[in-house]
Amino acid sequence: MRPHRIAVAGCGAAAFGLHLPVLTASPAWTVTAVLDRHTARAHAAAGRFGVPAVAHTLPELLDGADMIAVTTGVHHTLIEEAVKAGTHVFTEKPVTLDPAYSARLHAQARDAGVLLEVGTVRLYDPAVRALRDRLLSPNGGWLVKADGVDAAARAHILPDGFATYTFADDPPQPVPDGLEPHQEEALKVLLWEGYHQLTALLAVVGSVYPAACAIGPDRAVHATATDDHGQPYTIVVARPGGGVFVESFHLTGDDSAADLSWPAPYSGPPDPFAAMWGAIADALDSGVPTGSAAFAQRVEELALGLARTATSLGSTHG
């Protein structure tokens, strides 16, 4: 069977540091082209990873591709156009900031007969699976993320002179109706910075429900969710000083406890990403989705539920 042909939209840190290294090393995939609104980034990515073409338009990118990998900051417009063209889609998380909009995109993909896969990479993390297997009946815990190294990590993997962040150039994203400004900010923090925490929590505990949330003037978010038995799980997304990084999951059971810590961004082993892309290749072979879309929908709905409970501890706009 020939390798699956995949084209990559977005040549930022996620492409350079996570996806292109795995895709170009895998016999299951052939990267056909890359596209970025900053053409120099696309040429740099093509040169570094041996991609044969730089596309200048989305139709050029989709031409001949079985799947598009959307690693840009805003995803929904590219997803819609790819689905209309009959191309399978992988998108980085979150699909959108609005679970209702994301659900419509999932439905459009199903109706078009194409896969829409989502980068819920923590589902493929063997450490998360081990934690789930170790504590079969958790009764509470906490997850903390304090990332003061992301900008430096991005700068390390991107070509010299490239901006670490280009999100300011992104068009507005759709957000759910009825949110106060501080609640919208909490939603963005939870889905942009706390997504892996919510993924790990749902993967290990199962069903959890929003209970409370607060956001501070530094955009630090403190949230609580409960499980089917009312046991609490605290989620903290903090804003530490430069050089500080902590991402950990502490889980308690009836007579034991377990801890899990992750390395700083772009520094861990590629195994979860290789496993994820292997599962997506298998899904293309079989026509059966991995289930990542349904799981991603749960993550977005949990984040929105928490955001709707959010109170403000001060201005989040400086």
The burial class, CB within 10 Å (0-12 / 13-18 / 19+), for 287 is exposed
Q: Is the pLDDT of residue 318 over 70?
A: no
pTM for this one?
Answer: 0.95
Neighbours of 83 (CB within 10 A): 23
Are the C-beta atoms of residues 266 and 17 closer than 8 Å to each other? yes
pLDDT of residue 265: 84
Q: Give the pLDDT band of residue 144 (cuts 50, 70, 90).
A: very high
- Least confident range of 191-200, 223-232, 257-266: 257-266
Question: Mean pLDDT throughout 17-44?
Answer: 97
Per cent of the chain over pLDDT 90 is: 90
pLDDT of residue 280: 98
Domain boundaries, the chain: 4-122+269-290, 125-263+300-312
pLDDT of residue 73: 94
Instruction: Kindly state the DSSP code that residue 17 receives in the 8-state scheme.
Output: I
pLDDT of residue 317: 46
Please state, rounded to an integer, the average pLDDT across all residues of the chain: 95
pLDDT in tens, 71-97: 999 999 999 999 999 999 999 999 999
Residue 94: partners with Cβ closer than 8 Å, 6 or more residues away:
75, 102, 118, 191, 192, 195, 296, 299, 300, 303
Cα 147 from chain centroid (whole Å)? 16
DSSP string of 75-88, one letter each residue: -HHHHHHHHHTT-E
In angstroms, rounded to a whole number, what is the distance separating the alpha carbons of residues 303 and 315?
Answer: 21
Q: Is the pLDDT of residue 174 over 80?
A: yes
Q: At what angle do helices 195-205 and 181-192 cross, to 10 degrees?
A: 70
Question: Mean pLDDT throughout 280-308?
Answer: 98
CATH of domain 4-122+269-290: 3.40.50.720
Give the H/E segment covering residue 249. strand 245-252
Question: Mean pLDDT throughout 262-277?
Answer: 87
Are the C-beta atoms of residues 226 and 209 closer than 8 Å to each other? yes
Phi and psi, residue 235, nearest 5°: -120, 125
Q: Give the pLDDT band of residue 147 (cuts 50, 70, 90).
A: very high
pLDDT of residue 315: 62
Topology (CATH) of 125-263+300-312: Dihydrodipicolinate Reductase; domain 2 (3.30.360)
In angstroms, rounded to a whole number, what is the distance separating the alpha carbons of residues 201 and 226?
Answer: 11
